[in-house]
Chains A and B, each alone.
Chain A
Amino acid sequence: MRPEDRLSPEHLALCGALALPAFLLGDSLAAKGGLTALYILLFLLSGRRFRVLPNAVVAAGIVLAHLAAPFGMVLFRVGGFPVTQGALRLGALKAVTIIGLIYLSRLTIRAAVRLPGRAGEVLSLTLFYFERITELRPRLDLRDPWTGLDRLLREVYESSSPDSAGAVEGSSTGAAPADPAGPATGLTGPATGLAGQATGAPNGRASGPRTDAAGLALGSAFVLLHWAVYLATGK
């Protein structure tokens, strides 16, 4: 059983929220790089796919954008343009931060998390309909996408009553698909497994794992690790 299976979606999100400031506020490139590597390792251990190329493209883009505004000691020149230490470090730090936040998010946020009140109710219902749409695996004729889309809307709306028994018992167990919203493109198609993260029945009953003692210990250790790293290296 994976660590995230020992925490409820709400507690998992709380771990992420508590770890987030320590990660974000730190200024040490080595520390952030280490934490980001940890997130990616945990992501891989949870059975999900990590695509190197899209992340590398994003990181390279951020670094290059910062190099375009040089400051600091000139390390070398490319066609007369100075590549500077300050810009390179800042770009690398930003890139690691971006990638790290993405994977911290993906590790700790599950679609099954319940938000309170009316917002939570509407969100649950939204994910219910989303699951219904993806279940139908719609095929749109590119020559006349409007008809196909209209048919899809009518079919889903008219056939999906939120009151129907067991309409969607949430299937979320933390099992997540391949990197669905990666920074670059050409990833999983629309009907691949994102529905597996959908929430429970639209009356707001959440599904997914519940927190046990081991989960609580792991979650706490995760958060404490972040703050320890920040206090040791943050400023």
Chain B
Amino acid sequence: MTGPWAIRPRPLDWAAVAATVLAAALFSWRAYSGEAAEPMLYIQNEAHSWVYPLDREGIFPIPGPLGTTTVVLRNGAALVEDSPCRDKLCVSMGSISRRGDWAACLPNRVFLRIDRRERGGEGIDASAY
């Protein structure tokens, strides 16, 4: 480069440029594709829906016509811990953790599903169950 700046790069300067480009590329991949593919827990009842990343732990009381269904998210997996239905089939479904897995308490109209973040929970449709 000529002119008043008279830049004279040395060999390792290019390594610094490469490191910056690589870092930007890695973060771009992480932010703009990696995050979108991250699995999320989607919960829905008749009135509302909820969404949680699988690495967020918590106990979520979800109201339904029969009472409260307790959903637990722990160690990257979700399960129905308790529900006011008679047969507790939802509880016996066990935990879900992979994309496409689902669980439901039909009497109490509560549905759980694991899906990619970019799908935005659009796949949950109470009538499909």
Chain B residues within 8 Å of A69, by CB: 35, 53
- What is the size category of the interface that chain A forms with chain B? 10 to 19
**Contact among B4, B53, B56, B121 for A74, CB-based, below 8 A:** B121
Q: How would residues 31 to 72 of chain A score, 1 for a CB under 8 Å from any chain B CB and 0 otherwise?
A: 000000000000000000000000000000000000001111
Bound complex: CA A80 to CA B48 (Å) = 15
Q: 12 more A-B contacts (CB under 8 A) besides A73-B48, A82-B121, A144-B4?
A: A69-B35, A71-B51, A71-B52, A71-B56, A73-B49, A74-B121, A77-B120, A80-B120, A82-B49, A82-B51, A84-B50, A84-B51
Please count how many residues in chain B sit with their CB below 8 Å of the partner chain's CB atoms. 14
A81 in contact with B50 (CB, 8 Å): no
Chain B residues within 8 Å of A80, by CB: 120, 122
A contact residues vs B (CB 8 Å cutoff): 69-74, 77, 80-82, 84, 143-144
Bound complex: CA A69 to CA B55 (Å) = 12
Chain A residues within 8 Å of B48, by CB: 73-74
A74 in contact with B122 (CB, 8 Å): no
Q: How far is the CB of B76 from chain A (nearest CB, A)?
A: 15
Bound complex: CA A71 to CA B35 (Å) = 14
Q: Which residue of A lies closest to B49 (CB)?
A: A74
Chain B residues within 8 Å of A73, by CB: 48-50
Q: Which residue of B lies closest to A80 (CB)?
A: B120
**5 A-B Cβ contacts within 8 A?**
A70-B51, A71-B53, A73-B48, A73-B49, A74-B48
Q: How far is the CB of B102 from chain A (nearest CB, A)?
A: 18
Of the listed residues A80, A82, A143, the one surrounded by the most CB atoms of chain B closer than 10 A to its CB is A82
Chain A residues within 8 Å of B122, by CB: 80
Chain A residues within 8 Å of B52, by CB: 71-72
